Amino acid sequence: MDTILSVREVGKTYQSAGKSLTVLHQINFEVAVASTVSIVGPSGSGKTTLLGLCAGLDRASVGSIVLNGVSLDTLTEDERARVRNQYVGFVFQNFQLLPTLTALENVMVPLELRGAGNSRQVALDLLDKVGLADRGHHYPLQLSGGEQQRVSIARAFSNAPRILFADEPTGNLDAETSENVEKLLFDLNHDMGTTLVLVTHDLELASKTQRIIRMKGGQVVSDSMIDKTNR
């Protein structure tokens, strides 16, 4: 099976006030194209730091990360930004929508940054897919939390990413809204063939992915496939 993400002997150390703090130690795993993977573990286990390294938001202190065939290790900030723009989508816990733009405009931003000529129509189609065709003219503050997260999912899929990174995508949502957002993520993952890597505290959500990577103290303590045959 083709690999979209390869993480080899990765570590991350921060320097603060003359002291070193190592938050990730010798992380190793690969992610197959179009698969779904969750990364779980207690707060402070390094999940979000690892997600940021895999997505090219930050650089590992040691080790190697290859994303869609591109080694991130030696890239400049601008080069990593180009890789993200080309291959990566993001969904965050706190939505990160631009408050001065409408829902439609928020979805259009990545498309316009890429110079897409049909950005408005693509954004309208994506809002329709996430059930917000009639809310495109509303600003984030006029939308519920669940609606804001659906806009952020539409935005994440606007550049047809090869891989989507989701950091606690349901962390700020009630149970019913969470269920709707989860279904949306998995449906779009399936329909668009996008690889999904998500960080979550929610073990029920994690169990819906094909594989769970458990972290503790900055290390991977288990990596297991989920048996879906009895589900």
The structural domains of the chain, with segments of one domain joined by +, span 3-225
Strands 36-40 and 211-216: parallel
Record the tokens describing residue 91, joined without a space: 């969904």
Superfamily of domain 3-225: P-loop containing nucleotide triphosphate hydrolases (3.40.50.300)
Query: Is 211 in contact with 224 (CB distance < 8 Å)?
Result: yes
Q: What is the pTM of this model?
A: 0.92
What is the pLDDT at residue 228?
A: 64
What is the pLDDT at residue 231?
A: 45
Query: Is 125 in contact with 172 (CB distance < 8 Å)?
Result: no
Lowest average pLDDT, out of 87-91, 140-144, 225-229, goes to: 225-229
**Three-state secondary structure call for residue 2:** coil
CA angle 213/53/91 to nearest 5° reads 75
Per-residue confidence at 93, pLDDT binned at 50, 70, 90? confident
What is the pLDDT at residue 230?
A: 45
CA dihedral (152, 89, 219, 61) in degrees, to 10, reads: -120
**100-149 tens-digit pLDDT:** 999 999 999 988 888 878 899 999 999 999 999 999 999 999 999 999 99
Instruction: Please list, in sequence order, all residues whose beta carbon lies within 8 angstroms of the beta carbon of residue 140, skipping any fewer than 6 positions away.
Output: 95, 97, 98, 99, 103, 106, 148, 151
Query: Is 193 in contact with 34 (CB distance < 8 Å)?
Result: yes
Q: What angle separates helix 145-156 from helix 119-129, to the nearest 10 degrees?
A: 130
Question: Which carries the bigger pLDDT value, residue 93 or residue 127?
Answer: 127
